[in-house]
């Protein structure tokens, strides 16, 4: 079964009919020409097609190749909500946008320069993303009567034939014919041959951007190693696509986008979910604790479960529980036993875990709760991104139940942010929320991967056996107000913990009114005190005093950074601060905001951080909100910034 | 206090008593169960510090506070899931779950059945009092049909669970029943449960003398016990009655109560703990004793099966992964397979 799915992914149906002269003309207009190669600083491509067309795979391969070429880049995979949406329909369109360049890239691009569409639905769904005068590469087979009908074009209308796309540069290619010719005599069936068509397109695009085929060939060999005839067919088609560009050289210019001038170092490409998984493994290794994940499958968090389950040789135990509640409570059990315990989910699952989070707060055990946010409420928009669970993370429990909240700002930053969440959980004996989102989870960027020796140490403090006769006090605290971790197996530390209110120090059940108020305040103070152990809030760019401070959190980082950079270049008085520590806030945050006339808080929700800031600091912060399931564009942010700076 | 014999520290029932005042209602069946557990545990060859009692919410779930071992009094219905995570990550520990009929069969039903099918090596003591005691007397998922309680003034219309049939249906590998009022039997069953490798489920009939007094009295009172109960033992014929003059035969799949005056003991059903089908029939000896004719209620080990445990298999995978790939190399993981260098 698995194999069949893989096949469906890698093959895809692409069919292009191509007019060389037209494409040449388009490139000549779009890029500055130098000799026989066009030079550009950046480009944005959007691959779109049916969810079974292998779009994500094509995008991933292009991403890896661009990254290895040294480009800076940012990607945005956009999945259809339903895995098996009917073929050819608008609901079934899958997209993958990549912006790559020789300059620093912080977002996957507001609009694309090139739109590659496998069928009519993909064109209809994504045309608005294409820049004026941009290139459309269309697969003619995907524009037959059936596909046009499924894409809900009126009877008799075919956009690639009727001149309605004249504002763009349209190129039609017949890939079917060429793929068939390439694999003639290969012994493969028509269906299997058909499925290699996306490799033809990928090869062709590699040729346009002068990329090596090596990474993708290596990938194909790894993926299909057990079926040499499939490896051969895919590699042959990939090369055919590339050579097709080459043989048409007289008609067509290639585009050169040089390696980016990014900070020296060792890089790899990374997506947010694997980065999160690696951060967890790193934290376990550095703290010397065994890693336990209790999880229940949910979009878009499941990839963390998948990734961690592959690394059992790191002593990682993954437990796919029967439900979200068992996912977190099994993790609480493992935490009690001395594991670095994690639970992963998304909004609806987090809602189910709520009571158990309260228990973890009472038990004061280390636990990291990961929320890869998606559009809500309820089932909401499972495959779309949103930042609407911040208040849930901060407040969403019965009783007075504060806990630290950490948010990641980019795919690679998921590693560091979750590592920090683990550190705080272990060193401050508390459950910690880690917030990612669908955009970070699936987005990719070049990542200067760390060396393990450079990672901050994480020190777990265990209670040790006491001298005979001395009584163990499970809720005795250190200067951080953390309690020591007393794990079963240590003689003399036998003790009972639970969800009922605890007596200070002894941990015995207590209904004493004064003790309850004392303990509520103590638990709050314990979380507040974490502010003494985290860095001050930094200004990402811009002056330390001025007209406008843009305060962001989470995955809006790239868009805000790009917009603020542009505004600064245009002479506006604006700065950007991006918060990682959502609770407690860094100690200097209030003072920092007071240095500006206005505070603008862009969020992909209806205004959540802005409420926290107003509440805590009494600043007249203004929200700027987008709740469409898609990230901010830097253009819309820039426009807003210009009205205030 | 503790002494050490052959590396195993010797402790007594007394060493298992905590400084917490026991707060069950006077006369509650929980007292007897606590006493039997405290009596049996020191005889199991376990180290006290490697014993963990985990409970959910309900009267019975106060239990861990009274056991001088590691313990957790958690949240309603989740003891099974918490214990699962603990046992998977610390397989060497002796993990006991204390739960009630509301805790395990109502709010925690899901975790309960999944724990059983995974066969995680824990001991589950299900205190069944057929009522919600802690919340002061609502009917529970094991209360009989028609039961009048605070929440069912006209009688319950909820068909009750047959707990052991549910356990067997969830592929439980150790299925047993005992009662608070028979200390010797309870201690024997607790020992068997502990010896079993896998999820051991012991349903313990427990009298809630405040909200459901006498729910099990036909099984516990001298006058009726002999005729209403059937103590089953592996390899032994199914015999009961004050005069040991009644027995059970099985015709195909149909059990029948017979008089030993009519049927020879050789023709009786011989209990076989390894027979899953017959264990299923035994769990169906569940008719309401107030409405005859009926079968006596069986007590003892219905079914026991050796099946691999979840944690053994998972931890084996960890070992296999290390054997195949070597212990994890963090730097290699972070580097991945495709890297490039940007020179300064
Ligand atoms: S309410 Fe019933 S079960 Fe609870 S302690 Fe009292 S007698 Fe025991």
Is the pLDDT at A17 greater than 50, yes or no? no
A100 touches A66 (CB < 8 A): yes
Min Cα–Cα distance to chain A from B1, Å: 11
Same domain, A58 and A191: yes
Q: How far apart are CA B334 and CA A285, in angstroms?
A: 12
Phi and psi at residue A327, to the nearest 5°: -60, -50
Q: How far apart are CA A68 and CA A70, in angstroms?
A: 5
Min Cα–Cα distance to chain B from A262, Å: 7
Neighbours of B45 (CB within 10 A): 11
For residue A226, the domain's CATH number is 3.40.920.10
Same domain, A318 and A362: yes
Among A433, A454, A475, identify where a domain stops: A454
Q: How many CA atoms lie within 13 A of A66 on its CB side?
A: 33
Sort out which chain B residues have CB atoms less than 8 A from A212's CB and list them: none
Which of A265, A326, A494 is nearest residue B70 as measured by Cβ atoms? A494
Same domain, A371 and A345: yes
Compute the distance from residue B206 Cα to the ligand 1 centre, in Å: 9
Q: How far apart are CA A568 and CA A545, in angstroms?
A: 13
Mean pLDDT to the nearest integer, A425-452: 96
Sort out which chain A residues have CB atoms less than 8 A from B89's CB and list them: 290, 292, 317, 333-334, 337-339
Same domain, A235 and A336: no
Among A427, A454, A481, identify where a domain stops: A454
Neighbours of A229 (CB within 10 A): 12
Residue to mutate (ligand 1; options B21, B22, B23, B25; most atoms within 8 A of CB)? B25
Is the pLDDT at A386 greater than 60, yes or no? yes
State the virtual CA torsion across A227, A231, A234, A236 in degrees, nearest 10. -130
Compute the distance from residue B302 Cα to the ligand 1 centre, in Å: 28
Mean pLDDT to the nearest integer, A523-539: 98
Same domain, A243 and A287: no
Structure tokens at A468: 């005979």
User: What is the model's pLDDT at position A133?
Assistant: 87
Min Cα–Cα distance to chain A from B293, Å: 41
Q: How far apart are CA A194 and CA A142, in angstroms?
A: 13
pLDDT band at A25, cuts 50/70/90?
A: very low
Beta-carbon separation of A322 and B335 below 8 A: no
**Is residue A286 in a domain?**
yes
Compute the distance from residue B301 Cα to the ligand 1 centre, in Å: 26
Residue to mutate (ligand 1; options B210, B212, B214, B216; most atoms within 8 A of CB)? B210
Long-range interactions of B215-220: CB distance < 8 A, separation 24+: B215/B129, B215/B130, B215/B131, B216/B179, B216/B181, B218/B289, B218/B290, B219/B179, B219/B289, B219/B297, B219/B299, B220/B179, B220/B180, B220/B181, B220/B182
User: What is the model's pLDDT at position A35?
Assistant: 41
For residue A278, the domain's CATH number is 3.40.50.970
pLDDT digits (tens, 9 = 90+) for A332-356: 999 999 999 999 999 999 999 999 9
Q: What is the mean pLDDT of chain A?
A: 91
Q: How far apart are CA B64 and CA B44, in angstroms?
A: 18
Is the pLDDT at A20 greater than 80, yes or no? no
- Annotate chain B with three-state secondary structure: CCEEECCEEECCHHHHECCCCCCCCCCCCHHHHHHHHHHHHHHHCCCHHHEEEEECCCCHHHHHHHECCEEEECCCCCHHHHHHHHHHHCCCCEEEEEEEHHHHHHHCHHHHHHHHHHCCCCEEEEEECCCECCCCCECCCCCCCCCCECCECCCCCCCCCCHHHHHHHCCCCEEEEEECCCHHHHHHHHHHHHHCCCCEEEEEECCCCCCCCCCCHHHHCHHHHHHHEEEECCCCECEECCCCCEEEEEECCEEEEEECCCCCHHHCCECCCCCHHHHHHHHCCCCCCCCCCCCCEEEEEEEECCCCCHHHHHHHHHHHHHHHHCCCCHHHHHHCCCEEEECC
Beta-carbon separation of B110 and A323 below 8 A: yes
- Could you give the 3-state DSSP secondary structure of residue A198? helix
Compute the distance from residue B42 Cα to the ligand 1 centre, in Å: 26
Q: What is the pTM of this model?
A: 0.91
Same domain, A145 and A292: no
Q: How far apart are CA B223 and CA B214, in angstroms?
A: 14
**Is residue A133 in a domain?**
yes
Among A221, A256, A291, identify where a domain stops: A256
pLDDT band at A32, cuts 50/70/90?
A: very low
Same domain, A589 and A632: yes
Hey, is the C-beta of A70 within 8 angstroms of any chain B C-beta? yes
Same domain, A291 and A390: yes
For residue A557, the domain's CATH number is 3.40.50.920
Give the residue, by CA position, lying nearest to ligand 1 atom 1: B133
Q: How far apart are CA A308 and CA A277, in angstroms?
A: 6
Hey, is the C-beta of B89 within 8 angstroms of any chain A C-beta? yes
Q: Percentage of chain A with pLDDT > 70?
A: 93
More confident residue, B207 or A16: B207
C-beta of B208 in contact with ligand 1 (< 6 A): yes
Q: How far apart are CA B200 and CA B174, in angstroms?
A: 5
Same domain, A289 and A193: no
User: What is the model's pLDDT at position B265?
Assistant: 87
**Is residue A509 in a domain?**
no
Same domain, A584 and A442: no
Hey, is the C-beta of B173 within 8 angstroms of any chain A C-beta? no
C-beta of B30 in contact with ligand 1 (< 6 A): yes
Chain A: residue whose CA lies nearest to B91: A337
Q: How many domains does chain A have?
A: 3
Same domain, A341 and A228: no
Is the pLDDT at A532 greater than 60, yes or no? yes
Hey, is the C-beta of A294 within 8 angstroms of any chain B C-beta? yes
Same domain, A314 and A208: no
A336 touches A294 (CB < 8 A): no
Mean pLDDT to the nearest integer, A489-513: 96
**Is residue A488 in a domain?**
no
Q: How far apart are CA B115 and CA B87, in angstroms?
A: 11
C-beta of B25 in contact with ligand 1 (< 6 A): yes
Which of A282, A334, A359 is nearest residue B330 as measured by Cβ atoms? A282
Mean pLDDT to the nearest integer, A447-461: 97
Residues of the domain holding A57: 2-256
pLDDT digits (tens, 9 = 90+) for A275-306: 999 999 999 999 999 999 999 999 999 999 99
Counting every residue, how long is chain A? 645
A614 touches A634 (CB < 8 A): no
C-beta of B103 in contact with ligand 1 (< 6 A): no
pLDDT band at A178, cuts 50/70/90?
A: confident
Q: How far apart are CA A640 and CA B337, in angstroms?
A: 42
Q: How far apart are CA A384 and CA A346, in angstroms?
A: 12
Which secondary-structure segment (H or E) carries A73? strand A72-78
User: What is the model's pLDDT at position B10?
Assistant: 82
User: What is the model's pLDDT at position B338?
Assistant: 83
**Is residue A60 in a domain?**
yes
Compute the distance from residue B24 Cα to the ligand 1 centre, in Å: 6
User: What is the model's pLDDT at position A260?
Assistant: 87
User: What is the model's pLDDT at position A2?
Assistant: 38
Compute the distance from residue A270 Cα to the ligand 1 centre, in Å: 57
Sort out which chain B residues have CB atoms less than 8 A from A325's CB and list them: 78, 81, 110-111
Residue to mutate (ligand 1; options B28, B128, B131, B216; most atoms within 8 A of CB)? B28
Hey, is the C-beta of B81 within 8 angstroms of any chain A C-beta? yes
Is the pLDDT at A479 greater than 70, yes or no? yes
**Is residue A318 in a domain?**
yes
User: What is the model's pLDDT at position A251?
Assistant: 42
Compute the distance from residue A508 Cα to the ligand 1 centre, in Å: 21
**Is residue A484 in a domain?**
no
Angle, CA B98 vertex, CA B165 and CA A327 arms, to 5°: 85
* Closest to B194 measured CA to CA, from B125, B257, B102: B125
**Is residue A476 in a domain?**
no
pLDDT digits (tens, 9 = 90+) for A129-163: 999 988 898 988 899 999 999 999 999 999 999 98
Longest Cα–Cα distance in chain B: 100
* B17 strand-pairing partners: B67
Window 306-325 of B: residues touching A by CB (8 A cutoff) are 314-315, 317-318, 320-322, 324-325
- The 8-class DSSP code of residue A436 comes to E
Q: Percentage of chain A with pLDDT > 90?
A: 77
pLDDT digits (tens, 9 = 90+) for A537-584: 999 999 999 999 999 999 999 999 999 999 999 999 999 999 999 999
Beta-carbon separation of A333 and B334 below 8 A: no
Question: Which of left, alpha, beta for B130 (phi over 0: left; psi -120 to 50: alpha)?
Answer: left
Residue ranges in chain B whose pLDDT is less than 50: 1-2
For chain B, domains (ranges, CATH) are: 11-220 (3.40.50.970)
Q: How far apart are CA B306 and CA B200, in angstroms?
A: 11
Beta-carbon separation of A266 and B335 below 8 A: yes
C-beta of B63 in contact with ligand 1 (< 6 A): no
Q: How far apart are CA A204 and CA A186, in angstroms?
A: 21
């Amino acid at each position: 079964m698995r194999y069949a799915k893989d096949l469906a992914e890698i093959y895809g149906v692409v069919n292009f009919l191509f007019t060389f002269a037209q494409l040449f003309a388009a490139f000549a207009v779009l890029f500055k020409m130098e000799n026989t190669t066009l030079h550009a600083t950046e480009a944005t491509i959007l691959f779109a097609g049916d969810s079974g067309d292998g779009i994500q795979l094509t995008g991933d391969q292009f991403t890896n190749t661009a990254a290895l070429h040294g480009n800076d880049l940012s990607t945005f995979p956009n999945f259809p909500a339903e895995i098996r949406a009917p073929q050819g329909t608008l609901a079934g369109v899958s997209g993958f946008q990549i912006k790559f360049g020789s300059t620093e890239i912080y977002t996957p691009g507001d609009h694309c320069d090139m739109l590659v569409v496998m069928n009519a639905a993909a064109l209809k769904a994504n045309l608005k993303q294409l820049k004026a005068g941009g290139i459309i590469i269309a697969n003619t087979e995907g524009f037959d009567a059936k596909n046009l009908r499924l894409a809900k074009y009126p009877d008799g209308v075919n956009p690639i034939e009727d001149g309605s796309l004249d504002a763009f540069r349209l190129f039609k290619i017949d890939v079917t014919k060429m793929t068939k010719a390439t694999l003639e005599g290969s012994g493969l069936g028509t269906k299997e041959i058909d499925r290699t068509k996306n490799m033809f397109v990928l090869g062709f695009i590699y040729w346009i951007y002068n990329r090596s085929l090596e990474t993708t060939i290596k990938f194909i060999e790894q993926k299909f190693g057990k079926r040499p005839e499939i490896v051969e067919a895919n590699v042959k088609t990939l090369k055919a696509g590339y050579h097709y560009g080459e043989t048409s050289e007289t008609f067509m210019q290639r585009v050169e986008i040089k390696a980016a001038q990014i900070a020296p170092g060792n890089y790899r490409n990374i997506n947010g979910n694997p980065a999160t998984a690696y951060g967890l493994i790193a934290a376990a290794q550095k703290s010397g604790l065994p890693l336990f994940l209790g999880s229940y499958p949910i979009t878009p968090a499941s990839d963390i479960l998948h990734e961690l389950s592959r690394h059992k040789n790191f002593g990682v135990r993954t437990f796919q529980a029967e439900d979200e509640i068992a996912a977190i409570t099994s993790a609480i059990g493992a935490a009690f036993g001395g594991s670095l315990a994690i639970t992963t989910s998304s909004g609806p699952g987090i809602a189910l875990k709520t009571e158990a989070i309260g228990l973890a707060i009472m038990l004061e055990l280390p636990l990291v709760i990961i929320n890869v946010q998606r559009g809500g409420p309820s089932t909401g928009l499972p495959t779309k991104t949103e930042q609407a669970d911040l208040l849930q993370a901060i407040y969403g429990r019965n009783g007075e139940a504060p806990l630290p909240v950490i948010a990641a700002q980019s795919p690679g930053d998921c590693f560091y942010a979750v590592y920090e969440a683990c550190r705080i959980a272990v060193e401050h004996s508390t459950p910690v929320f880690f917030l990612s989102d669908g955009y970070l989870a699936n987005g990719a960027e070049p990542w200067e991967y760390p060396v393990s020796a450079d990672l901050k140490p994480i020190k777990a403090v265990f209670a040790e056996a006491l001298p005979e006769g001395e009584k163990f006090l499970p809720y005795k605290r250190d200067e951080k107000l953390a309690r020591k971790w007393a794990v079963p197996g240590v003689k003399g530390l036998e003790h009972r913990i639970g969800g009922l209110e605890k007596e200070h120090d002894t941990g015995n059940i207590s209904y004493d009114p004064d003790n309850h108020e004392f303990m509520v305040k103590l638990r709050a103070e314990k979380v507040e005190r974490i502010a003494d152990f985290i860095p001050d809030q930094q200004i990402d760019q811009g002056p330390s005093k001025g007209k406008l401070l843009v305060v962001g959190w989470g995955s809006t980082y790239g868009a805000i950074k790009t917009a603020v950079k542009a505004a600064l270049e245009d002479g506006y008085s604006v700065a950007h601060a991006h918060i990682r520590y959502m609770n407690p806030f860094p100690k200097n945050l209030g003072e920092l905001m007071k240095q500006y006339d206005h505070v603008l808080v862009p969020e992909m929700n209806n205004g959540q951080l802005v409420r926290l800031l107003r509440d805590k600091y009494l600043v007249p912060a203004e929200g700027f909100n987008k709740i469409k399931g898609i990230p901010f564009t830097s253009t819309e942010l820039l426009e807003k910034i210009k009205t205030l700076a | 206090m503790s002494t050490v014999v052959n590396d195993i520290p010797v402790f007594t029932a007394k060493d298992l008593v905590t400084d917490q005042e026991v707060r069950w209602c006077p006369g509650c069946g929980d007292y007897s169960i606590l006493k039997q557990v405290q009596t049996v545990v020191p005889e199991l060859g376990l180290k006290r510090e490697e014993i963990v009692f985990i409970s959910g919410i309900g009267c019975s779930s106060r239990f861990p506070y009274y056991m001088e071992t590691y313990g957790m009094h958690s949240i309603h219905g989740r003891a099974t899931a918490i214990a699962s995570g603990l046992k998977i990550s610390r397989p060497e520990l002796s993990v006991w779950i204390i739960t009630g009929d509301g805790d395990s069969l109502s709010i925690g039903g899901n975790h309960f059945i999944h724990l059983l099918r995974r066969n995680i090596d824990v001991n589950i003591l299900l205190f069944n009092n057929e009522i919600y005691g802690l919340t002061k007397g609502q009917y529970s998922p094991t209360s009989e049909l028609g039961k009048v309680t605070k929440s069912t003034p006209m009688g319950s219309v909820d068909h009750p669970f047959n707990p052991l049939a549910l356990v067997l249906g969830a592929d439980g590998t150790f299925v047993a029943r005992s009662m608070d009022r028979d200390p010797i039997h309870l201690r024997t069953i607790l020992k068997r449960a502990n010896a079993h490798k896998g999820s051991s489920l012991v349903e313990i009939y427990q009298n809630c003398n405040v909200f459901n007094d006498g729910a099990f009295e036909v099984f516990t009172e001298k006058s009726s016990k002999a005729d209403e109960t059937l103590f089953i033992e592996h390899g032994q014929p199914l015999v009961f009655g004050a005069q040991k003059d009644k027995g059970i035969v099985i015709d195909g799949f149909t059990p029948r109560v017979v008089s030993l005056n009519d049927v020879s003991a050789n023709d009786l059903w011989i209990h076989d703990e390894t027979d899953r089908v017959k264990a299923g029939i035994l769990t169906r000896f569940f008719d309401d004793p107030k409405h005859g004719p009926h079968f006596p209620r069986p007590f003892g080990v219905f079914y026991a099966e050796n099946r691999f445990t979840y944690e053994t298999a998972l931890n084996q995978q960890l070992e296999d992964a290390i054997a195949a790939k070597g212990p994890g190399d963090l730097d290699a993981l972070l580097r991945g397979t495709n890297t490039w260098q940007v020179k300064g």
